[in-house]
Amino acid sequence: MSAEIRFEREPGQTSDVPNISPPKPFLIVAILMIACAFWAAVAATRFGEGKFDVPDGNIVASRSLTFNDAPDGGILVYDYNASVLATKIEPNTNQFLRGAIRGLARSRRAMQINATAPFVLTQWDDGRLTLDDPSTGERVAVSSFGPTQIESFRALLLAGK
């Protein structure tokens, strides 16, 4: 003997699923909000609206660097112009620095650009520090990420000198 549960329609109900629809003014407002958000995204991308560029000042220090993976998981940092090892970043350290380099390298691979071209680390007269990839035109504004990250990159400007 099995128990069976049956649901019956209410008197006057024409289907099992109630017909609920949002009010028309709500739909109109929702569609307008989506259209405005889409327009803002297109304007920002196409016309540079909302873009915040800090003009470059004078260069205080600059160094062209290349980064290679070490067998132990570290990163070997070479001074590109002097063709010498500047420093080694030990395994499992400087995660922000590693992430910034990997992000720039990923862009190079996607554009099929030579991985041996140098990155340029620059300290500006207003205190900013940037890591640029001249091959792709991308820039990491290191100064935006706090004093610990600034110091890890600033150390690369002086490493091995």
Q: What is the pLDDT of residues 89-125, one digit of tens each?
A: 888 888 888 888 888 888 888 888 887 889 999 998 8
- The closest of 126, 129, 137 to 153, measured between CA atoms, is 129
Is residue 12 a part of any domain in this protein? no
Q: Are residues 46 and 67 in the same domain?
A: no
Q: Are residues 110 and 41 in the same domain?
A: no
Q: Are residues 97 and 42 in the same domain?
A: no
Cβ distance 61 to 130 under 8 Å? no
Q: What is the pLDDT of residue 93?
A: 84
Q: Are residues 89 and 45 in the same domain?
A: no
Q: Are residues 75 and 151 in the same domain?
A: yes
More confident residue, 131 or 53: 131
| Domains held by the chain: number | 2
Phi-psi region of 17 (alpha: psi -120 to 50; beta: other; left: phi over 0): beta
Q: Are residues 138 and 80 in the same domain?
A: yes
Cβ distance 142 to 97 under 8 Å? no
Is residue 1 a part of any domain in this protein? no
Is residue 11 a part of any domain in this protein? no
Over the stretch 8-28, which tens digit does the pLDDT of each residue have? 777 776 665 556 677 888 889
Q: Are residues 46 and 65 in the same domain?
A: no
Is residue 13 a part of any domain in this protein? no
| H-helix or E-strand spanning residue 59 | strand 59-69
Over the stretch 34-78, which tens digit does the pLDDT of each residue have? 999 988 888 777 776 666 566 677 888 899 999 888 899 888 889
Is residue 16 a part of any domain in this protein? no
Is residue 14 a part of any domain in this protein? no
Amino acid letter for position 94: N
The last residue of a domain, from among 33, 50, 67: 50
Q: What is the pLDDT of residue 34?
A: 94
The pTM of the full predicted model, rounded to 2 decimals, is: 0.63
Q: What is the pLDDT of residue 121?
A: 92
> Can you give the residue range of the structural domain that contains 36?
23-50
